[in-house]
């Protein structure tokens, strides 16, 4: 009984928290990417300006996400050894956060670049 209440309260709290994050688009939350990415500075991963420039448009990026995001298909990791070494880190994030939300993720990335912040 008590447990159910705690679970319900936790769920309610989490939902409020999520509703408050403006960038939540249909199950995809771009804010989770901020731990490793910024719009115009390299952090753990490349800047999203660089990513947007490498892919050119949303559809191309969404296409690479949909085809499984193989390292050899990644425009940045495939051409820069420094990022290739860290590709495993992004593969984990891809499986956890992007798979099943490919179009939303690509749109969120290009929107963040246009807006100037993630
Ligand atoms: C734990 C750190 C981490 C998180 C969190 C993270 N990334 Fe990355 N990301 C990286 C690293 C490191 C690279 C460079 C290696 C690579 O490109 O695979 C990268 C590269 C990328 C690339 C370029 C791929 C290429 O090589 O062309 C895209 C697109 C990308 N991330 C999108 C995202 C999105 C969208 C999110 C949030 C859902 C996200 N990342 C969350 C670490 C992270």
**Model confidence, pTM:** 0.84
Q: Where are the domains of the chain?
A: 2-115
Distance of CA 2 to the CA centre of its chain: 36
pLDDT at 2: 59
The pLDDT score that the predictor gives to residue 11 is 56
- Encode pLDDT of 34-90 as tens digits: 999 999 999 999 999 999 999 999 999 999 999 999 999 999 999 999 999 999 999
Domain 2-115 grouped into CATH 2.50.20.10: no
Atom of ligand 1 at shortest range from CA of 29: 38
CA-108 nearest atom, ligand 1: 35
Cα-based torsion angle of the residue sequence 47, 34, 78, 56 in order, rounded to the nearest 10 degrees: -60
Provide the strand spans (E) within the chain: 24-25, 28-29
**pLDDT greater at residue 17 or residue 71:** 71
Q: How many residues does the chain have?
A: 118
**Ligand 1: does its nearest atom lie under 6 Å from the Cβ of 112?**
no
Q: Answer for the pair 76, 50: CB distance below 8 angstroms, yes or no.
A: yes
């Amino acid at each position: 009984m008590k447990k159910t209440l705690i679970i319900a309260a936790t769920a309610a709290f989490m939902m409020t928290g999520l509703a408050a994050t403006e960038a939540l688009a249909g199950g995809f939350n771009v804010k989770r990417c901020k731990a490793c990415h910024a719009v115009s500075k390299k952090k753990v991963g490349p800047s999203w300006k660089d990513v947007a420039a490498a892919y050119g448009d949303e559809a191309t990026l969404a296409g690479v996400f949909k085809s499984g995001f193989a390292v050899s298909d990644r425009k940045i990791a495939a051409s820069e050894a420094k990022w290739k070494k860290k590709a495993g880190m992004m593969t984990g994030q891809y499986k956890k956060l992007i798979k099943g939300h490919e179009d939303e993720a690509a749109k969120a990335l290009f929107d963040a670049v246009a807006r100037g912040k993630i």
